[in-house]
Structure 1
């Protein structure tokens, strides 16, 4: 019988987000709600599966892992592309890669979370919540700042960065923006002022990152950049952990120079003994950005549809169509 693995269902939301009955009538469907410890564990756990339905980049799929999955015939990804997947390796093996299209009404969920992290960090909301639950009231809660009249710096002003600019405007913040390809006209259309990277770092009370991770953007916020930030400034990252030099960030929050509000990390899930878990001056969420009910209502039904169509011999949304031609 065909075996299908639904990977990385960390919140246990996959089964209720789609109708799996058509698939389960034709295949054994196994839901994985824990991350694999490493590539060896992934290879051992997935060796008997014919179809993998993955969730974004949670389980990396490099060539070295693809080559260790002898039965794999189709791999489903969520979103248009998956940077952690070696599509070329799949193509060489004759493995069809099928994606999903759109996010539904959850398209701006990550920007909404960035706004939440900004306000949580500015007002000490996590400390206030924890204190009340421990029998305290205001003791130990840092004095917050009002965001009205402050400056929000946006590194990256695409779809999500532009939405964050609108949120900043609604809070009566001044909006600065920078990225390597940003023009003054595009910044102005989003309600922001284009400035240099150094001007943004030095002039912003809060900085939010909205970039795709690539060789060019990896480490775009390094130790020298963090040193340029205002004392007490808030750094928000809902994009990808490796955009920021993690060691420099940990040093800065430990020293009390800045506050970090993070939804993403260099390694996910964040290891139990990771220093960020106990670092002061931080607000941490477990990569919740895009993960809302409206997104799952697109990702999982389309994933089921992709797998059923593949089993029917009529693959949908194939991003390496040369596999079909070769077949």
Structure 2
């Protein structure tokens, strides 16, 4: 086990999540401390130069020490999305390098996206919630085989999902910011989304949340979706206009499977929880047994770069 390194004014201070106490292969010459986001600070935040925040969804916990980190040079997020963290870093007087965990969670998130698709098509939530579970009433449900799938946001997660869809012989359309080619076919620019959504049986959102994608899926776009389509969101909740989605689902025009919501966490009694045709998971796309080994490898690589004064990977513009 790697103990918290004793103070040494010649060493640069690094804060790591509490789960990383056994992380091996870290560079010498750095001073390490571990914080779980709940306990008192493990050292003076003013000495910290490299901060790996706890893997929590509460941006308040992540940002609590930031105002006191006057020597901070780099923040390595353990998530792919850094929209909330970037906003907090903009408030600091100095320039801090922000890095994300792009690609680390791609396969796990794509796996959940596929799970949500299959569970929704086969009406698994209705079976588990049905009052008459003792009744044996087989029905015929939609299959994923041969369906048209629109992936909105063709980055690491979208590409991983595309791979998982291969055995199902789906007709996949791909959307990103600009036109480009991919190993599995063309990727279309976002401007074509209103046209492409009209022919999609399943719409999967894997895009980052930016000013351009905030409420990207709004009333007008949802109105163009074909009746009975399934919307799956494993991106960020605010990519979708929640009120518009609710209206469409309540009208029986759409089904939804959401790992992320707006607001998040979703309050008890929120209409999304009570609406038939909506499947919700609590933002767990990344959380699998494969997560920690991948995160450890990322942090080890970044710290070695930091110790050698090399450029870090995954730098995010904010």
TM-score exceeds 0.5: yes
Unaligned runs of 5+ in 2: 1-5, 8-12
1:123 partnered with 2:122: yes
User: 2:270 & 2:38 partners in 1: Cα distance?
Assistant: 21
| TM-score (norm: length of structure 2) | 0.71
- Structure 2 counterparts to residues 40-189 of structure 1, below 5 A: 49=45, 53-55=52-54, 58-60=57-59, 69-70=67-68, 73-74=71-72, 75-78=75-78, 82-84=82-84, 85-86=86-87, 87-90=89-92, 92-93=93-94, 99=99, 106-131=105-130, 136-137=133-134, 144-183=141-180, 186=181, 189=183
Higher RCO by CA contacts (8 Å cutoff, separation 6 or greater): 1
User: 1:60 & 1:140 partners in 2: Cα distance?
Assistant: 46
Report the CA distance between 1:296 and its aligned residue: 1.9
Report the CA distance between 1:306 and its aligned residue: 7.2
CA contact (8 A) 1:262 1:285 kept: yes
CA contact (8 A) 1:5 1:31 kept: no
Distance 1:314 1:112, change over 3 A: same
Structure with the higher fraction of residues in strand conformation: 2
Report the CA distance between 1:148 and its aligned residue: 1.9
Distance 1:102 1:181, change over 3 A: closer
Report the CA distance between 1:98 and its aligned residue: 6.7
The residue that corresponds to 1:264 in the other structure is 260
Distance 1:128 1:192, change over 3 A: farther
The residue that corresponds to 1:218 in the other structure is 214
Task: Determine which of 17, 31, 56 is the counterpart of 2:36.
Answer: 31
Instruction: Give the SS at the match of 1:265.
Output: coil
Unaligned runs of 5+ in 1: 8-13, 35-43, 322-327
- Structure 2 counterparts to residues 308-327 of structure 1, below 5 A: none
The residue that corresponds to 1:10 in the other structure is none
RMSD of the TM alignment (CA)?
A: 4.3
User: 1:234 & 1:110 partners in 2: Cα distance?
Assistant: 18
Count of aligned positions: 290
Residues 246-296 of structure 1 show CA distances to partners (whole Å, capped at 9, x for unaligned) of 110111122221011111122332223432222221111111122223222
Report the CA distance between 1:210 and its aligned residue: 2.2
Instruction: Give the SS at the match of 1:168.
Output: helix
User: 2:200 & 2:81 partners in 1: Cα distance?
Assistant: 33
CA contact (8 A) 1:165 1:191 kept: no
User: 1:264 & 1:230 partners in 2: Cα distance?
Assistant: 22
Report the CA distance between 1:222 and its aligned residue: 0.8
